[in-house]
């Protein structure tokens, strides 16, 4: 690292600087290639080679909870930064690398529903979006084409669309679920899933190599490192990896002027830019805005509202699992099979507003099955160990309940370092989400609808169990987590103001975070719905920037002195 008196190197200025190479960062970079602007993306992680993914080895389940864990605290790579979530009942999940969170996800790829954009009007909670579903629909479709989405058109409980590939097979697990839901009279439909079921855009179809979440070595699961980024790089966009951004800088006019970062050797550098776009997710983006405090902006950048870091949403994700009397799919094949939107929209008879999606999975692997049931006591030690294990292995069914986490200011990220303490790359700021005097409490209505969620999941299991010859009473288990982090900033509403997200701030506000929601994610959107919306808004942003660039270029030509 350079000494205190060593001049800080300054890189050549770029037109657009993107910080973060995940879902929206990749979409912005790709969407701007026709503008001929000089575009640079800084990513603190690295490329993940296909040979690095756990599915290549027999220890894939162990690595899923080690170097490919969804938690940065358990993963503990040198490209991660710690997140202090001890004060939160839900934990943060992310991935720092080219592709961001699209590397570690289960390929669930739902769209938002029209009602999600009008929750204040319809249900009196959270906020309405400043745009509606139909404004974003063309971009949802474009993102589907870029990523490749398998599904089945015609779902009566879902916005009309045309998936780009046939759905994944239901398999044994999906067939069992379908029989149960038919008996209950509940809605179900094959899930939209970003896994290639046919050869698609240079990617071979899925061969059921292994569990989708810890990365897809074959490349059948879509992630932006193999969809958006190759196109952007071929068109001239520059992507620098292992570059850890410290803060956003401002000029004498209070406008964003670039970023200070540490290169792979640990040298502090300055990257000037005309436009700065933050695409570092619901934890990384507010972290950078807060770390960029100065005498002019003592509370951090874009924070005159005081809301940066607040309204953190982690999407509660309770799960109910049970066992049936025949072998299911287990970890063989894409985990996401089908969904039920039976309880998605508001039903006043339930006693609360908004709803949730039931997401049905195939099962789990042999190691996870053993460890889980040793903990629950279903798998004993001793002479009956193997006999009991054979009744559990590949016989588990799993229902995830994608709940809603409403935006509330007491759920927030905050810098935990001492005010005024110098920042350095070896000791990242710790962030935590908390209430004033209590942990992150999830959705405002979660205590009421959470009970119902679990009951619905258990009921579907019991019906599934009785669909074939009944054995012992079905076992069930419910737990929760916060698999995605978003919120933390509000969209800008003023055409110009003192906050330095560049003079084109009125639209850049949409991309100040990777998941660009106003503050309300809507129900049942776990996993990819926020990535879908992020990529869609990213593409919308690129159209605006291209238009601005053309107008600005014409203005410069018109005002140029003659002779």
pLDDT per residue as tens digits for the range 498-533: 444 332 332 233 233 323 333 333 332 333 455 565
Q: What is the pLDDT of residues 308-332, one digit of tens each?
A: 988 888 778 888 888 999 999 998 8
pLDDT tier at 540 (50, 70, 90 boundaries)?
A: low
**What is the pLDDT at residue 430?**
44
Rounded to 5 degrees, what are φ and ψ at 238?
-100, 135
**What is the pLDDT at residue 514?**
29
Q: Terminus-to-terminus CA distance in the chain, angstroms?
A: 49
* Helix, coil or strand: residue 419: coil
Between these two residues, 363 and 537, which has the higher pLDDT value?
A: 363
pLDDT tier at 412 (50, 70, 90 boundaries)?
A: confident
If you average pLDDT over residues 173-182, what whole number do you get? Answer: 95
Task: Assess whether pLDDT exceeds 60 at residue 553.
Answer: no
Between these two residues, 434 and 147, which has the higher pLDDT value?
A: 147
As a whole number of angstroms, the distance between CA 103 and CA 80 comes to 14
**What is the pLDDT at residue 539?**
59
**What is the pLDDT at residue 407?**
82
As a whole number of angstroms, the distance between CA 217 and CA 211 comes to 10
**What is the pLDDT at residue 491?**
58
Which of 127-131, 140-144, 327-331 ranks highest by mean pLDDT? 140-144
As a whole number of angstroms, the distance between CA 488 and CA 431 comes to 12
253: buried, middle or exposed (CB in 10 Å: 19+, 13-18, 0-12)? exposed
Task: Assess whether pLDDT exceeds 50 at residue 465.
Answer: no
pLDDT tier at 213 (50, 70, 90 boundaries)?
A: confident
Rounded to 5 degrees, what are φ and ψ at 480?
-145, 165
Task: Assess whether pLDDT exceeds 90 at residue 122.
Answer: yes
Task: Assess whether pLDDT exceeds 70 at residue 449.
Answer: no
Q: What is the pLDDT of residues 11-67, one digit of tens each?
A: 999 999 999 999 999 999 999 999 999 999 999 999 999 889 998 888 888 998 899
As a whole number of angstroms, the distance between CA 220 and CA 237 comes to 25
Using left for φ > 0, alpha for ψ between -120 and 50, and beta otherwise, residue 355 falls in beta
pLDDT tier at 408 (50, 70, 90 boundaries)?
A: confident
Residue 263: count of CB within 10 angstroms of its CB = 16
Which of 72-76, 239-243, 282-286, 411-415 ranks highest by mean pLDDT? 239-243
Radius of gyration in angstroms for the set of CA atoms belonging to the chain, rounded to a whole number = 24
pLDDT mean across residues, the chain: 79
**What is the pLDDT at residue 485?**
67
Q: Return the percentage of the chain with pLDDT > 90, whole number.
A: 51
**What is the pLDDT at residue 93?**
86
Q: Which of 119-133, 289-303, 413-427 has the lowest mean pLDDT?
A: 413-427
- pTM of this structure: 0.82
Rounded to 5 degrees, what are φ and ψ at 556?
-65, -40
Task: Assess whether pLDDT exceeds 50 at residue 472.
Answer: no
What burial letters (b/e) apply to 277-293, b meaning 16+ CB within 10 Å? bbbbbbbbbbbbbbbbb
pLDDT tier at 462 (50, 70, 90 boundaries)?
A: low
């Amino acid at each position: 690292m350079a000494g205190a008196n060593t001049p800080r190197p300054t890189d050549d200025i770029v037109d657009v600087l993107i910080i973060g190479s995940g879902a929206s960062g990749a979409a912005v970079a790709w969407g701007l290639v026709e503008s001929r602007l000089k575009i640079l993306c800084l990513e603190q992680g690295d490329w993940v080679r296909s040979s690095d993914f756990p599915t290549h080895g027999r220890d894939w389940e162990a690595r899923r909870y080690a170097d490919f864990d969804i938690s940065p605290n358990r993963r503990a790579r040198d490209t991660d930064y710690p997140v202090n979530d001890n004060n939160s009942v839900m934990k943060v999940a992310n991935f720092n690398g080219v592709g961001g969170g699209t590397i570690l996800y289960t390929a669930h790829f739902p769209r938002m529903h029209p009602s999600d954009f009008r929750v204040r009007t319809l249900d009196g909670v959270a906020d309405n979006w400043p745009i509606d579903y139909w404004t974003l629909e063309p971009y949802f479709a474009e993102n589907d084409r870029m990523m490749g989405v398998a599904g089945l058109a015609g779902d009566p409980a879902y916005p009309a669309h045309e998936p780009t590939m046939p759905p994944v097979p239901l398999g044994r697990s999906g067939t069992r679920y379908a029989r149960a839901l038919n008996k209950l009279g509940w809605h179900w439909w094959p899930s939209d899933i970003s896994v290639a079921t046919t050869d698609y855009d240079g990617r071979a179809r899925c061969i059921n190599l292994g569990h989708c979440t810890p990365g897809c070595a074959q490349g059948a699961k879509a992630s932006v490192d193999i969809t958006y980024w190759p196109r952007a790089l071929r068109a001239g966009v520059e992507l620098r990896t292992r570059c850890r951004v410290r803060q956003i800088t401002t000029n004498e006019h209070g406008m964003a002027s670039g970023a200070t970062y540490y290169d792979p050797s640990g040298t502090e550098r300055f990257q000037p830019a005309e436009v700065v776009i933050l695409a570092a997710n619901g934890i990384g983006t507010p972290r950078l805005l807060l770390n960029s405090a100065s005498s002019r902006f003592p509370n951090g950048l874009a924070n005159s509202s005081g809301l940066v870091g607040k309204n953190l949403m982690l999407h509660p994700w309770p799960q109910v699992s049970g066992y049936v009397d025949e072998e299911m799919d287990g970890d063989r094949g894409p985990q996401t099979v089908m969904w039920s939107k039976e309880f998605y929209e508001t039903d006043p008879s339930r006693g609360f507003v908004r709803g949730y999606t039931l997401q049905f999975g195939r099962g789990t692997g042999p190691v996870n099955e053993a460890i889980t049931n040793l903990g629950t006591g279903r798998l004993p030690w001793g002479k009956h160990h193997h006999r009991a294990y054979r009744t559990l292995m590949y016989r588990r069914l799993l229902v995830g309940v994608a709940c809603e986490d409403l935006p509330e200011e007491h759920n927030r990220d905050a810098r935990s370092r001492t005010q005024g303490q110098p920042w350095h790359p070896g000791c990242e700021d710790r962030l935590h989400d908390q209430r004033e005097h209590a942990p992150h409490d999830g959705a405002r209505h979660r205590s009421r609808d959470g009970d119902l969620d679990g009951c619905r999941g258990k009921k579907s299991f019991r019906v599934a169990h009785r669909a074939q010859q009944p054995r012992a009473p079905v076992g069930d288990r419910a737990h929760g987590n916060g698999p995605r982090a978003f919120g933390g900033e509000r969209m800008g509403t003023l055409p110009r103001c003192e906050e330095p997200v560049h003079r084109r701030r009125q639209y850049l506000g949409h991309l100040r975070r990777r998941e660009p929601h106003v503050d309300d994610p809507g129900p049942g959107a776990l996993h990819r719905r926020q990535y879908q919306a992020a990529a869609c808004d990213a593409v919308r942003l690129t159209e605006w920037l291209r238009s601005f660039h053309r107008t600005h270029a014409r203005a410069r030509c018109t005002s140029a002195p003659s002779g």
